[in-house]
Structure 1
Amino acid sequence: MTAETAPRWDSTLDSVVVYAQGALCRRLVRGSVPTDGRVRVTGLPRSLDPASLRATVLAAAGVRVTEARVEVEAEPLGAGAPDVLRREVERLRDAHAAAQGRRNRQLGLIEEIRALHPVPPERNPEDPHRRTAVDVWLELADFVDGRLTGLHARLAELDEALRHVEHELGVATDRLSRASTAAPSAHVETTVSALLTLDGAGDGDGDAEGGGPGGGEVELELEYGVPGAVWVPAYRLIHGQGNGDGRLVLRASVAQRTGEDWTGVRIALATADLRRRTDLPRLRSVRIGRRQPAPAPSGWREPPAGLADLFAGYEAAGARRPAPTALPAGVRVGSAAGPVPPPPPPPAPAFVPVPQSYAAPPAPGGAYGGSPETFGGPMPDFAQSAPAQPVAARPAAPRSRAGAMGFGGPPAAAPPAPAAPGRAAPPAPAAPAAPEPAAGPPQPSGAELDYAALVLCGPDEHGGRRGRLFPDSALDPVAAEHRRRADAVGRLPLPGHAVRPRESAGSFDHRFDAAARADIPSDGTWHTVTVGEIPVGLRTEYVCVPSVEPTVYATLVLSNATDQALLAGPVEVSVDDEFLLTAALPTLAPGGVRRVGLGPAEGIRVTRRTNLRESTAGLRNNTTVLDHQVHVELANRLAGPVTVEVHERVPVSSEPDVRVEERATWTTPEDGTGPEHHAPGIRVWRVDLPAGGQVALDGGYEIRIPAGKALVGGNRRS
């Protein structure tokens, strides 16, 4: 049984973890493993990252996954393919082109009729003057007016039909752009599958000698990463007037364009970066001495000798040339204009440096998928020169660290073209010095050692690529287009007051698991998902700064008693089952306290009056005393008791001779104990007002300034 005839298992998307950018999907699959242990799991999206594929056996004793590889297949779409939107757009485009053509033809007819005008015949100078046929001119004018009236009426109908078709085409195009990308986007359906190889002890029915599972029932979990998924947090706060607690519902706005619809999946939201490396660095020991440990085999093989000679026949046949273009009319080969000059000779081919041999120890599994014996003996030295080329001189081949897989430096520059007869050849530019490579065998990357994913370049490749193996990741434009469309989701405009999770989470990462399964189509628009309810401490307080504005503002003081942070985002506040407003919730760390403003409270009135008296004191009246008196009145007109914070500010002096003496019942807030930080000099009154109650607050301070100093800049009467 080959990979093409391997049994196909259908998979079901079970859970998705959406990160700050990108998502990690998990699929479940169950089936009976054939004797050879090779199965094909279908249903994977086109935009998945092949390097992120992981397969795990969930329920099968002694069975393990020995290989997991991503393969792409393409086949024509059937007649019943779900392509209604695209066909509708194509039909409307044809209708729009037809309507535009009819309108253009009508405009042409109007211009032709409008150009009709009487043309008098040519008069012989010897003939006498003739009278103008006015009645004929009038008949022609009546004919033109009648025809133009009918043509313009028809033009108005065509304009209306064109506008109608344009509107329908715009609506259909918008629906197609917002449609899910899980459906095929062309006439060829591309499917992605995972080819798995299972190995382990079977249940006794299979081939025990082959080491395969032998037809046992197994359950697998496939995990892979996809781009094109983002999320931002959102909240809904339900609060009852006078209650000390509330309900904070965490919701998330999720948008994804991964190429597959998430239907009935378990959603989890994380603030981590999916592309951040998580592997630990390896600290290697440095030893001094003659004896060194043998280097680890790199799996690299030098290309066979005479690789350039493989294309000698192709070069002798000549490169592919475009079809000859037809000569213009009236031009003949070998005409009087002179003989046709011969075509210019083709430019001299560029010399591609050939990598020299290395004294690297052989390793099993060469770059060509076999041992050196496959080529009929030990691998020969590759320091052989290329075929002779008609060039003046060849640059020396630099020592390259590349082999057949193409992880080397850039090819050498093309030699200068031969000079014309009778002219001196221009001086050749000095070649830049090639960087000296590090000693030792080449160190190819993981993609270059994935031999099954390497592609052999054909004879038409340039730059030293033909006949050599390269990873095919850069040769798949369809996958690149899918990833480009998926990455466009990260540029969606955010909802109001929304903040990216990486910006609000800081240096910590959090994960939130949704309580129920959800459906999120792959249409690239925002969808709301309810994550769960978070218990928070809640109390209502009123704050006013009468020295700035005679208005009392209502606030909600939230305290986070959970072990997870509340990320910044919009919060919809509802008081007594009535929607109040949408505010911006700041990031609330575990154990933190923050205020959320609810707007002005019209039921509480505040007034403030001040009085300033200036006098002198001291033995010789050498001290100026500025006595400030503050009087604040509060009146509660609400139906219940309230707690009001009145903020005042006392001057702060940096001069030791200037003293500020306070006399009031206000207090100094301590930073770190309240929901916000206070500037120096802030003083607070906390007043409990019953329903319909009033209170008067008196305070003041004295500023003592020596006679030799004066207050510069500032309002001394505030």
Structure 2
Amino acid sequence: MVMSDDKTPSVYEPLTSRIDKVKVYAAGATVTRVADLQLDAGEIPEQVEMAGLPLALDDSSVRVRVESALGASTAIATDVRIGLAVPPRQAVQNSPTDEEVREAKAEVQQLEDAIALIENEIAILYQLDVPERPDGEEGKAPPPSPLTARLALTNFKDEQVRARITEKRETTEKLRQAQEHLDDLLQKQARASNAKEVRPHELRKTVVVRLSNEGEPSTLAGQRLVVEYFVPGARWTPTYICRLDSTGNQATVAVRALICQRTGEDWSGVSLELSTAEPLSWCELPELPSLRLGRAQPRLKTSGWRLPPVGAEILFEDFDRQKQVAISAVSVHSVLTDIPSPSVPPLPNLAVEVLKHQGIDATQVPKKMSQSPLDTQEIFERSQELRKASFSQQRRRQRVELTTDEPSAPRDEFDITLMSPGMIDAGEYSGYAESMPAAAPAVFRSPSRPKTAAFHESRQAQVREEEDALTNLLAYSLMRMGAADEPTQRGKLSIEQRQEVYLEILKRRNVVVSFNVLTIVQQAAIDARNCIYINLPPGGINVRQVAGSFDYAYSADGRIDVPSDGEFHSVALTSNSTDVDLRYVVVPREDTNVFRIAQLKNPLQAPLLAGPADVYVDGEYILSTKITTVPPKGQMELGLGVEQAIKVARNTSYQEVRSGETLVAFNELRHNIQIDIANRLPRDAAIEVRERIPIPDADAKVDVQIDRASPEWEKYEQQERGIPIRGGYRWRVQVPGGEQTKLSVQYTIKTFVDSELIGGNRRE
């Protein structure tokens, strides 16, 4: 037994947890928290609590296990409950009790009554007047004046008034002090009351775990509790940094990620893993359709549960028997005579229950069977016999309508029933067959059932009830097993209200909740899910769409920090080196600038997803580009811009020559192309020079032939770009550093002498 922070007894041992690992999916994340188990007198606590979890976590996704640093853990988690909790409250110093407040109020009231009494006495004294000298009788001497008595009365009045005024002044001062003391107590009490009131932003979810130890006490050291849960409100997109070394033909590919999370908790120093998978998906077994032939039968209801096994109620016999003995013992010794003896329902006859479930009249069960409820073999054999007899009686009671030329009545989709041969005796079936006319085949027809609007409405209501029941059956975290002392609920699962489950732990603490907690929890989940609608940064992609049919995971080499602010933060995942093939490409027909292209091999076991990449060459930033998805061990190309140290010049010449006989003469359009390359780099350069010559249409009376190419070139159709071309060729030459080389080609276009090419005969 431990004491909670608010001085309320609690059976939960609080644990200090930390986030150890986070796995971010395409939408959402799985968080793993760990907490060390502290031994109490050499034993693990029976129940522990891990608080401070986000409100948006999915209750059904919580998984708990116990790990040990010394090997296999001997402690296991037997039960998990999820509720709501608040951070520890700061205790108010010298918080007054209700008795102290009542005493202070009574003192103030007593002083106020005393002042009122004094004021009343002063008022009475002021009403006490000194009588005047009495008037004498006519004709007589005036009576003597009671001067002494009158002076004594006046002095008495003045003295009493002054005494009352002094007493009132003293009592008023005491009242002021008492009122200040009461106000101070009330203020402290108000602060203590406000400290117990829960505010919506203070709510957090908590997990209560029941532990059980099955090993020796010496094996309990070094164990920790691991809690995993899924929380929405997280997404990521990849980015890259490519650093190339032009001198050593090496490149480093740094894989980074932009992560946005609004889960309600900051990730500080966590081990990060990114995945392209969907975290949750629905999967169910297909339901095979059936075609039934024969007499119409009611549709069988599918059920996701089974009846309890035979003898389940016997498990509670010992409990009921011992309970009756205990109650009898209490009544005999007259310790408590006012406790009524509970009526325990008799255990049902298992044989009768089995037969009733199979639709068989239990009155036909012999006494021998009812006296031996555990003889299941005999129950099964007898139930089969009674089922056949019951089926035969039903067949005799039904009227079979035989039709020859009339169409059959409308029937349901499942009115055609295929009956098992074992369900009908051969003699009965032959009797029915003999009674049928032989003129035409007989058709069994069941009476048509009217399907009115009320029938459809009742059917829809039944379907909705079944769907609601199915939804409740999937709420595993809300299911509770009835206790043994509840005869109607024991051994059965029941659904608890979610709000009651959440408030269960709050009730154990002396706190006040003045709002709907379900509304706060639902709003937190909505705010977390809205994270997936935040716009991606420029160049960002949806990892689920580009991953294809497979899912991949990327782990970070170190621990990272990601705050829960709904903004994208760049984090480093891993960095790997790979070989780079640096080459140069020029198309002098279009542009004499030489472009650098780096060909890299994917160094990861997973694909490089499409995303933006920053390119550095020899430590200098060159450009930002966007790469496409590269499969594992695949090749990718990066354009590095223009290489100013390599110069290319293209020169052409043209000559038109007449050839052939007088009757059939041709024009030969001879084109010469010469390309000069100067490599001013200090190293060799592999340069690819691309050219293109005209290609006539298939029906054109034009012939194009290549006369000479120095050095030899090869065809190039631009298949890697997905846009093939005709007439393409290329040279691949190696130019030493600081040297020059020449490329040349000559081709001839031959046409009839009276023909001319569209656009002019000269092509260069």
Give the structure-1-normalised TM-score: 0.56
Aligned to 1:682: 728
Aligned pairs (5 A) from 1:574-593 = 574-593=616-635
Distance 1:452 1:25, change over 3 A: closer
Matched, 1:660 2:704: yes
Residue 554 of structure 2 is matched in structure 1 by 512
Instruction: Please say if residues 246 and 537 of structure 1, whose CA atoms lie closer than 8 Å, have aligned partners that are also in contact.
Output: yes
CA distance in 1, matches of 2:241, 2:226: 35
Which among 223, 231, 235 is matched to residue 230 of structure 1? 235
Specify the code of the residue in structure 1 equivalent to 2:548.
G
Which one of 631, 651, 664 corresponds to residue 674 of structure 2? 631
1:24 maps to 2:51: no
Bigger mean CA deviation after superposition, 678-687 or 607-616:
607-616
- 8 Å contact from structure 1 (residues 563, 590) kept in 2: yes
- Residue 242 in structure 1 maps to residue 247 in structure 2: yes
Does the Cα contact within 8 Å between 1:75 and 1:188 map onto a contact in 2? no
Q: Check whether the contact 1:10–1:43 (CA below 8 A) recurs between aligned residues.
A: no
Aligned mates of 1:216, 1:640 — CA distance in 2: 64
SS of 1:272's equivalent? coil
Q: Which residue of 1 aligns with 2:150?
A: none
1:717 equivalenced with 2:763 (yes/no): yes
Instruction: Return the alpha-carbon distance in structure 1 between the equivalents of residues 91 and 222 of structure 2.
Output: 36
Confirm or deny: 8 A CA contact 2:250 2:578 kept in the other structure: yes
C-alpha change, 1:553 and 1:43, in structure 2 (3 Å) is same
Structure 1 residues 509 and 204 mapped into 2: Cα distance closer, same or farther (>3 Å)?
A: closer
1:58 counterpart residue number: 67
**SS of match in other structure, 1:445:** helix
CA offsets per residue over residues 63-91 of structure 1, 9 Å max, x none? 443443321235797699xxxxxxxxxxx
Which residue number in structure 2 is paired with residue 569 of structure 1?
A: 611
Query: Kindly tell me: are residues 689 and 469 of structure 1, through their superposed partners in 2, closer, same or farther at Cα, counting changes over 3 Å?
Result: same
Residue 208 (structure 2) aligned to one of 195, 208, 211 = 195
Match among 439, 442, 445 for residue 470 of structure 2: 445
CA deviation digits over 1:310-367, x for unaligned, max 9?
Answer: xxxxxxxxxxxxxxxxxxxxxxxxxxxxxxxxxxxxxxxxxxxxxxxxxx979xxxxx
| Residue 285 of structure 2: aligned partner | 281
The structure where helix makes up a greater share of residues is: 2
Equivalent residue, structure 2, for 1:68: 80
Task: Provide the alpha-carbon RMSD of the alignment.
Answer: 4.5
Unaligned runs of 5+ in 2: 3-8, 93-197, 308-355, 359-452, 481-494, 503-515
Matches within 5 A, 1:454-469: none
Q: Give the aligned partner of residue 574 of structure 2.
A: 532
Q: How does 1:123-138 map to 2 (within 5 A)?
A: none
Paired position in structure 2 for 1:405: none
Kept after mapping to 2: 8 A contact 1:593/1:675: no
Change (3 A) 1:267 1:469: closer
Residue in structure 2 matched with residue 648 of structure 1 by the alignment: 691
**1:586-625 residue pairs with structure 2 within 5 A?**
586-614=628-656, 620-621=663-664, 625=668
Aligned-pair distance for 1:677?
A: 7.5
Query: 1:113-512 residue pairs with structure 2 within 5 A?
Result: 188-199=201-212, 201=214, 203=216, 218-277=223-282, 279=283, 281=285, 296=303, 298=305, 434=457, 436-437=459-460, 442-443=466-467, 444-447=469-472, 450=475, 453=478, 476-512=518-554
Instruction: Tell me, in whole angstroms, the C-alpha distance in 2 between the residues paired with 1:295 and 1:259.
Output: 41
Distance 2:28 2:539 in 1: 22
> Are 1:448 and 1:470, in contact at CA under 8 Å, matched by a contact in 2?
no
Deviations 1:501-538 (CA, angstroms, capped at 9, x unpaired): 23432333221111111111112222222212223220
2:60 and 2:476 in contact (8 A); partners too: no
Q: Distance in 2 between matches of 1:485 and 1:294?
A: 40
- CA distances 1:146-181 after superposition (whole Å, capped 9, x unpaired): xxxxxxxxxxxxxxxxxxxxxxxxxxxxxxxxxxxx
Cα distance in structure 2, aligned partners of 1:271 and 1:492: 18
Q: After TM superposition, give the deviation of residue 612 of structure 1 in Å.
A: 4.2
Q: What is the distance in 1 between the residues matched to 2:530 and 2:277?
A: 20
How far did 1:37 drift?
A: 4.5
Q: Structure 1's 520 and 615: CA in aligned 2 closer, same or farther, altered over 3 A?
A: same
> What letter is aligned with 2:470?
S
Indicate the SS of the match to 1:602: coil
Task: Give the direction of change, closer, same or farther, for the CA distance of 1:242–1:35 in structure 2 (3 Å limit).
Answer: closer
1:544 corresponds to: 586
CA distance in 2, matches of 1:286, 1:519: 56
Displacement of 1:702: 3.3
Query: Secondary structure of 1:248's match?
Result: strand
Name the CA shift for 1:284/1:218 in 2 (closer, same or farther; >3 Å): farther
Q: Distance in 2 between matches of 1:199 and 1:670?
A: 72
TM-superposed deviation, 1:272: 1.6
AA partner of residue 49 (structure 1): D
Distance 1:497 1:216, change over 3 A: closer
Letter in 2 for 1:281: L
How far 1:625 moved relative to its partner? 4.5
Give the superposition deviation at 1:596. 0.7
Cα–Cα, structure 1 residues 294 and 714, in superposed 2: closer, same or farther, change >3 Å? Answer: farther
Cα distance in 2 for partners of 1:441, 1:187 equals 34
SS of the residue 2:278 aligns to: coil
Compute the displacement of 1:655 (Å).
0.7
Aligned residue runs from structure 1 range 690-709, under 5 A: 690-704=736-750
1:209 corresponding residue in structure 2: none
- CA–CA separation in structure 2 for the residues paired with 1:294 and 1:492: 45
Q: Secondary structure at the match of 2:525?
A: helix
Deviations 1:664-688 (A, max 9, x none): 222124878x798754432111222
Aligned equivalent of 1:45, options 37, 54, 65: 54
Could you state the TM-score of these two structures normalised by the residue count of structure 2? 0.53
Q: Which position in structure 1 is the counterpart of 2:100?
A: none
Structure 2 distance, partners of 1:614, 1:513, is 67
Aligned residue type for 2:597 = T
Residue deviations 1:98-141 (CA, integer Å, cap 9, x gap): xxxxxxxxxxxxxxxxxxxxxxxxxxxxxxxxxxxxxxxxxxxx
Which ranges in structure 1 are unaligned for 5 or more consecutive residues? 81-184, 206-212, 301-359, 363-429, 456-467
From the superposition, tell whether residues 65 and 549 of structure 1 become closer, same or farther in structure 2 (CA, over 3 Å): same
SS of the residue 1:224 aligns to: strand
Partner of 2:326: none
What's the secondary structure of 2:521's corresponding residue? helix
Q: Residue deviations 1:197-240, cap 9 Å, x none?
A: 445635479xxxxxxx9x99853321111112122222222222
Residues 48/249 of structure 1: CA separation in 2 closer, same or farther (3 Å cut): same
Following the alignment from structure 2 to structure 1, what is the Cα–Cα distance between the partners of residues 289 and 35?
44
The answer to whether the 8 A contact 1:574-1:580 is kept is yes
Q: Secondary structure at the match of 1:550?
A: strand
